[in-house]
Amino acid sequence: MPHSRPTLRQFLLKEYRTHGTEKDLVFLLEDIATACRVISSRIRNGSFAGNLGSAGSTNVQGETQKQLDVIANEEFESHCRNCSRVAALVSEEVDEVTWIKDKPAVGDYIVYFDPLDGSSNLDVNLSVGSIFSIVQLKEAIDPSDDRSVLLPGTEQICAGYSIYGPATSLVITTGFGVHGFTNHLGTGEFRLVSPDMIIPEDTNEFAINASRHSFWDQPIQRYFDECVSGPEGPRGKSFNMRWTASMVLDIHRILTRGGVFLYPVDSANSAAGGKLRLLYEANPMGYLMEQAGGLASTGRGRILDVVPTSSHQRVSVILGSKNEVTRIEEYFRD
Ligand code: AHM
Ligand code: MG
């Protein structure tokens, strides 16, 4: 019965009482949840509203923006602005930092987000999602300098994602485990369905875009080749492979049943630094992975320790079940 499951508000107020989660963070998370509900509805009705196609513009990464990329960005931004503690927004879809406060102070929040991840899947009616990360300022920063928002993933106090799939889900951490909610259509509430999500340490499933095999570094080729060599190969077992081209979905599957996700730097994307963005894709997913007992690595070190040098910086991403990520890191050391 849906009513036996705590709503997002009930859950967050419990976190406020037991862990001292700030009230303003509770309000901000509720506003983000509302943005996700609205984005979900806009996507479901996209064909009727005629907004599934291209927006006719490109973002700072040089990618063609979908109309729904732009719509999702507007929804995220307007709902985050409700919170009086939000000092700045960093979005995949906006070149510059969006400064909201002219005097960002200690305790204020910066929200980093990818409003519509995997949007190339929209035209073929496959699931997409939103990813977000929240950092709390430990000191006042200068809003005239966009580099002020370049803080490492270790500074995150909250991260999460939403999935617009058969159901609309919201998965969050505020540093006390990872918790999954599903939007209940009857009440309109996000309700807790997966408390304390934990990633199995071992797995026989991996996710990678195998069409890039010829571009990969040797450690990634070795890992992949061993996984597909079956019970007679060095791993002594069969592996399954899944790739949705939507990071939120691949990560959600891994959080649910284990696995490892790889989007490494390779010879074809190294000039850009990789494919996935550090501040609003790798860091939030890395934080969630660690909170669920998994690992998040570049192959050569912890993702959360990477010191950012630009807002839209890309990074090598390997995350998921602990023993697989550790193995891949060993291959890099070899
Ligand atoms: P996006 O933020 O522009 O949608 O790009 C990120 C997406 C990830 O969701 C996904 O893992 C990856 O790009 C897919 O890349 P590829 O098309 O190379 O498979
Ligand atoms: Mg993305």
pLDDT tens, residue by residue, 148-199: 999 999 999 999 999 999 999 999 999 999 999 999 988 899 999 999 999 9
Residue found under tokens 């499951």: 5
245 alpha carbon – ligand 2 mean position (Å)? 10
Q: In the predicted model, what is the mean pLDDT of residues 327-334?
A: 97
- Which amino acid makes up residue 152? P
C-alpha–C-alpha distance, residues 112 and 97, integer Å: 10
Question: Is the pLDDT score of 1 beyond 70?
Answer: no
The torsion region of residue 259 among left (phi > 0), alpha (psi -120 to 50) and beta comes to: left
82 alpha carbon – ligand 2 mean position (Å)? 24
C-alpha–C-alpha distance, residues 105 and 96, integer Å: 20
Atom of ligand 1 nearest to the CA of 119: 4
16 alpha carbon – ligand 2 mean position (Å)? 30
**pLDDT for 57:** 73
Atom of ligand 1 nearest to the CA of 61: 3
Task: Please work out whether the CB of residue 262 comes within 6 Å of at least one atom of ligand 1.
Answer: no
Residue 63 per-residue DSSP state = P
Cβ within 8 Å of residue 9, ≥6 positions away: 26, 30
> How many CB atoms within 10 Å of residue 58?
11
Residue found under tokens 């996710």: 207
C-alpha–C-alpha distance, residues 246 and 280, integer Å: 14
Is residue 131 within 8 Å of residue 281, measured between CB atoms? yes
pLDDT tens, residue by residue, 204-245: 999 999 999 999 999 999 999 999 999 999 999 999 999 999
Residue among 12, 313, 314, 279 nearest 131 (CA): 279
248 alpha carbon – ligand 2 mean position (Å)? 9
Q: pLDDT band for position 45 (50/70/90)? A: confident
Nearest CA to ligand 1 atom 11: 247
pLDDT tens, residue by residue, 18-32: 999 999 999 999 999
221 alpha carbon – ligand 1 mean position (Å)? 20
**pLDDT for 3:** 72
Higher pLDDT, 298 or 2: 298
pLDDT tens, residue by residue, 101-114: 999 999 999 999 99
Exposed / middle / buried, residue 106 (Cβ in 10 Å: 0-12, 13-18, 19+): exposed
Is residue 135 within 8 Å of residue 153, measured between CB atoms? no
pLDDT tens, residue by residue, 239-294: 999 999 999 999 999 999 999 999 999 999 999 999 999 999 999 999 999 999 99
- For a mutational test of ligand 1's pocket, the pick from 60, 112, 117, i.e. the residue with the most ligand atoms closer than 8 A to its C-beta, is 117
Atom of ligand 1 nearest to the CA of 248: 9
Is residue 314 within 8 Å of residue 277, measured between CB atoms? yes
List 210's β-bridge partners, or say none: none
Is residue 227 within 8 Å of residue 238, measured between CB atoms? no
State CA 170 to chain mean position distance: 11
Q: In the predicted model, what is the mean pLDDT of residues 62-72?
A: 81
- Which amino acid makes up residue 85? R
